[in-house]
Amino acid sequence: MGSAAAERLASMGYNVILWNRTREKAEELAGKINAKVVPGPFDAVQEAEFILLFLSDEDAIYSVMSTFHRMDGAIIINHATITPHGSSRFSSFTQALGGCYVEAPILGGPSALRNGKALIVVAGSRTCKSAAKGILNDLAGELIDLGEEPEKAAALKLSFNSLLIGSVSLLAEAVLLSESYGVDSNLVKEVLSKTIFGPIAEKYIDRMRDDPAKDASFTLSLAMKDLDYAVRTGFYKGLPQHLTASALNLYRYGVRSGFAKSDYTRIYHVIKGRE
């Protein structure tokens, strides 16, 4: 996601500065888009006007942000999927160091982002948002403002991901049920495409049955992280997430069974292997 955003912004004329924990990855991308690589994340804070975070999870954000000594006027835009609780913590920490924090999760994958078609929801204080709106409008296909509390954007993104990952798991289970009676997946897709499940069947049935070793656009381990964050968030609010918790168990099993780096839709193969 970080590479896709950097490519998109570079193509729009932004002067991009890159930092990645694995420096070689940043160097490789920098060669392609003519960007500068800095040795540490705090160098990026000192040099850049906007700091866009595409880190995998809250632990990664903690470890990166804890290297920041001050953030005089820095505008931190977080695009990673995190909990509302994490969002308000990162926002307070940023404010305490003199910076601005905006939560801007992305509903869409790397190719939508690279092509300027991603849907981004944004929340943060009015001042921070107005500072970030220009770059977010350039990055997004569509930007929806959810107000001043950053945790609202994090909550909505978790709701979306529970729905998406849960639906894909349910679809995988449903396809396998038909297949167990000899009904070909193409026929399942053809029939479902004539119902309200058409768009999801057309988009996911072939993808989920594809080779688990193929490159992932969104990994099974990150999907597991999002389900875990959604279940925890419900727990803190006294709202059990029954179906999401069930999908979480399945994704945990998938990660334990060696599918961590596979695309999250390959949960189909995890369920198939379990039978």
The residue ranges that bind ligand NAP (CB under 6 A) are: 1-2, 20-22, 25, 54-57, 59-60, 63-64, 79-81, 106, 109-110, 217-218, 222, 226
Residue 79 or 152 with smaller CB distance to ligand NAP: 79
| Single-letter code of the amino acid located at 101 | Y
Single out the residue of 30, 102, 58 nearest to residue 39, CA to CA.
Answer: 30
Shortest spacing between CB 219 and ligand NAP, in angstroms: 6
Shortest spacing between CB 59 and ligand NAP, in angstroms: 6
Residue 110 or 150 with smaller CB distance to ligand NAP: 110
Q: Are 100 and 73 in contact (CB under 8 A)?
A: yes
Residue 110 or 212 with smaller CB distance to ligand NAP: 110
**Would you say the C-alpha torsion 138, 141, 144, 149 has a positive or negative sign?**
negative
Residue 7 or 226 with smaller CB distance to ligand NAP: 226
Shortest spacing between CB 128 and ligand NAP, in angstroms: 20
Give the list of residues 6+ apart from residue 131 with CB closer than 8 angstroms, or none.
75, 100
**Residue with structure tokens 């290297």?**
67
Shortest spacing between CB 81 and ligand NAP, in angstroms: 4
**Phi, psi of 106, deg, nearest 5:** -110, 130
Residue 111 or 180 with smaller CB distance to ligand NAP: 111
Helix (H) or strand (E) holding 17: strand 17-18
**Would you say the C-alpha torsion 4, 127, 61, 224 has a positive or negative sign?**
negative
Shortest spacing between CB 132 and ligand NAP, in angstroms: 17
Around Cβ 188, how many Cβ atoms within 10 Å? Answer: 19
Residue 47 or 59 with smaller CB distance to ligand NAP: 59
Residue 36, classed as helix, strand or coil, is strand
> Cα(235)–Cα(225) distance, rounded to whole angstroms?
15
Shortest spacing between CB 228 and ligand NAP, in angstroms: 11
Token pair belonging to 38: 């800095």
Residue 83 or 241 with smaller CB distance to ligand NAP: 83
Shortest spacing between CB 26 and ligand NAP, in angstroms: 9
Q: Are 127 and 100 in contact (CB under 8 A)?
A: yes
